[in-house]
């Protein structure tokens, strides 16, 4: 059982019910949470309801939400068109799920093929993590090679092969990152199959790749690291050119960036097209989803027409000849109805641009307040996501975040929570169509009140 929170949190007076619930939760769930990312000190806040850009906690405090379920809610909470689409699906189909193919799967697959440049055909999954896992399997099957290269600080889900060097330790500039398991229970022989590269450092990346290229079945990365560190203009294109030349499938994990860097994702924004793309978050309109899309010939490896179905009792289906991909809830109608409704709203003229404009205004406003109050800080981001970094050095990779003043940032985040700005401490800020001018202005007022209390040292 986790130790109950000590009464030291500045929010304590205002969040007593959260503290009580946390104590109870810790009796029944390890650490009182059901996903490690949801924990923060001294206890996470328990929410009760939400609307638009706002969250309301169990103590009736309101927050302007910049976490938005880790970016998934691109239309904010409870968008009427999303709610209506879900109700309509349930009443029209008479069931949440058929367990058979249905028309909305085709509609969403067509939509993704039309919007995302690297997508020709699609398979749905239930999370972004499942999507990257399936994409890696496809790539390894395509090449017949075992190893996978990923980048330091990039998160692709909580399974063994990619749970490597997501957290960062300081290293000398130009030194290749080491491959470190980020969890107990990751077998050494699996960790050894993962090669770790430094984002935005082409020289070191190329020299590591040169040593490993023969054995690599895939290179996977977040084209915008952690959703907020943009790629150097040349970096992505050099990586694309290199992987193409060596026949290594390039996978973009666009779980965070899909529908947040524009409707064509980071690949559309930066004009670099991967072989395979993993999507999630916004695609489900607030419901769990993932998808893999990519080159037809690679995706086709998963076709049961080609290879049979190991679960179907086909005599001809041999495990080694079948690229297995399945899932009871894949292509769930309720989820797809929410996702399609979300995309329809984002496709309206000016909808996406308005969120970008609000993001720019908020970033500039926060920078101005911090600077005016004597803090050396910057916002780093692109599209509808950004982060705040204390320091004025260029932020191009995970090491640069490590070199910033994280203690100050954590202090600020707690003050912001106190002022009614919801973010997961140290995590990125995401905006939505619900973050209109009034919300941004109010956020800046609350932000200034928080910064006023921020002490140096």
Ligand X SMILES: N[C@H](C=O)CCC(=O)O
Query: Residue 155 catalytic?
Result: yes
Question: Which member of 256, 281, 400, 413 is catalytic?
Answer: 281
With binding defined as CB under 6 A, does residue 386 bind ligand X? no
Query: Residue 437 catalytic?
Result: no
Within 10 Å of residue 253's Cβ, how many Cβ atoms? 31
With binding defined as CB under 6 A, does residue 35 bind ligand X? yes
Task: Tell which one of 37, 106, 114, 311 touches ligand X (CB under 6 A).
Answer: 37
Distance CA 378, CA 371 (A): 9
Alpha carbon 41 to its chain's center: 22
One DSSP character per residue, 93-148 reads HSSS--SS--HHHHHHHHHHHHHSTT-SEEEEESSHHHHHHHHHHHHHHHHT--EE
Nearer to ligand X, 255 or 322 (CB): 255
Residues 150-179 binding ligand X (CB under 6 A) are: 155
Query: Residue 309 catalytic?
Result: no
Nearer to ligand X, 329 or 375 (CB): 329
With binding defined as CB under 6 A, does residue 114 bind ligand X? no
Task: Give min distance, CB of 231 to ligand X, in A.
Answer: 18
Task: Give min distance, CB of 389 to ligand X, in A.
Answer: 16
Distance CA 352, CA 105 (A): 24
Q: Which residues pair with 54 in a beta bridge?
A: 51, 64
How many residues of this chain bind ligand X (CB under 6 A)? Answer: 5
Task: Give min distance, CB of 227 to ligand X, in A.
Answer: 7
Give me the residue whose beta carbon is nearest to ligand X. Answer: 70
Residue 399's contacts (CB-CB under 8 Å, 6 or more residues apart) are 152, 168, 170, 171, 173, 198
With binding defined as CB under 6 A, does residue 70 bind ligand X? yes
Give the contact letters, 219-258, x = binds to ligand X (CB under 6 A), - = no: -------------------------------------x--
With binding defined as CB under 6 A, does residue 199 bind ligand X? no
Question: Which member of 70, 155, 242, 422 is catalytic?
Answer: 155
Nearer to ligand X, 34 or 445 (CB): 34
Q: What share of the chain is helix, strand, coil (3-state, %, to 5)?
A: 45, 15, 40
Note the residue count of the chain. Answer: 457
Longest dimension (CA), the chain: 72
With binding defined as CB under 6 A, does residue 259 bind ligand X? no
Task: Give min distance, CB of 339 to ligand X, in A.
Answer: 17
Cα-based torsion angle of the residue sequence 342, 50, 429, 269 in order, rounded to the nearest 10 degrees:
0
Catalytic positions are: 155, 253, 281
Q: Enumerate binding residues for ligand X (CB under 6 A).
A: 35, 37, 70, 155, 256
């Amino acid at each position: 059982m986790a130790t109950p929170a000590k009464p030291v949190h500045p929010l304590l007076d205002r969040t007593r019910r959260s503290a009580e619930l946390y104590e109870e939760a810790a009796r029944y769930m390890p650490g009182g949470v059901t996903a490690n990312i949801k924990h923060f000190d001294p206890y996470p806040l328990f929410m009760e309801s939400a609307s638009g850009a706002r969250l309301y906690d169990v103590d009736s405090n309101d927050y302007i939400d910049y976490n938005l379920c880790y970016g998934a809610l691109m239309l904010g909470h409870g968008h009427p068109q999303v709610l209506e689409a879900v109700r309509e699906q349930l009443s029209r189909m008479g069931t949440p799920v058929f367990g058979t193919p249905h028309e909305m799967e085709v509609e969403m697959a067509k939509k993704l093929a039309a919007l995302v440049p690297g997508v020709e055909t699609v398979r749905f999954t239930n999370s972004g993590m499942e999507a990257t896992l399936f994409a890696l399997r496809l790539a390894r099957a395509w090449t017949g090679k075992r190893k996978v290269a990923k980048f330091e600080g990039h998160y692709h889900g909580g399974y063994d092969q990619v749970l490597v060097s997501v957290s960062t330790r300081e290293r000398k500039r130009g030194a290749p990152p080491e491959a470190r398991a980020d969890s107990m229970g990751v077998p050494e022989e699996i960790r050894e199959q993962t090669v770790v590269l430094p984002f935005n450092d082409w020289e070191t990346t190329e020299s590591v790749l040169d040593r490993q290229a023969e054995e690599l079945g895939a290179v996977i990365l977040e084209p915008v690291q952690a959703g907020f560190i943009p790629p150097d203009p040349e970096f992505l294109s050099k990586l694309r050119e290199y992987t193409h030349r060596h026949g290594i499938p390039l996978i973009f994990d666009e779980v965070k960036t899909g529908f947040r860097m524009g409707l064509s994702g980071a690949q559309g924004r930066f004009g670099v097209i991967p072989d395979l793309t993993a999507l999630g978050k916004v695609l489900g309109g607030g419901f769990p989803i993932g998808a893999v899309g990519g080159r037809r010939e690679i995706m086709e490896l998963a076709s049961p027409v080609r290879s049979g179905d190991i679960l179907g009792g086909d005599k001809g289906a041999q495990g080694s000849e079948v690229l297995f991909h399945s899932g009871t809830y894949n292509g769930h109608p309720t989820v797809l109805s929410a996702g399609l409704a979300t995309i329809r709203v984002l496709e309206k003229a000016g909808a996406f641009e308005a969120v970008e404009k609000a993001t720019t205004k908020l970033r500039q406003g926060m920078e101005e307040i911090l600077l005016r109050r004597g803090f050396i800080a910057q916002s780093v981001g692109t599209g509808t996501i950004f982060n705040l970094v204390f320091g004025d050095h260029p932020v191009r990779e995970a090491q640069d975040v490590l070199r910033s003043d994280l203690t100050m940032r954590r202090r600020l985040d707690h003050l912001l929570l106190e002022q009614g700005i919801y973010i997961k401490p140290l995590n990125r800020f995401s905006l939505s169509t619900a973050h209109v001018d009034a919300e941004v202005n109010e956020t800046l007022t609350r932000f200034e009140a928080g910064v006023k209390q921020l002490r140096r040292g």
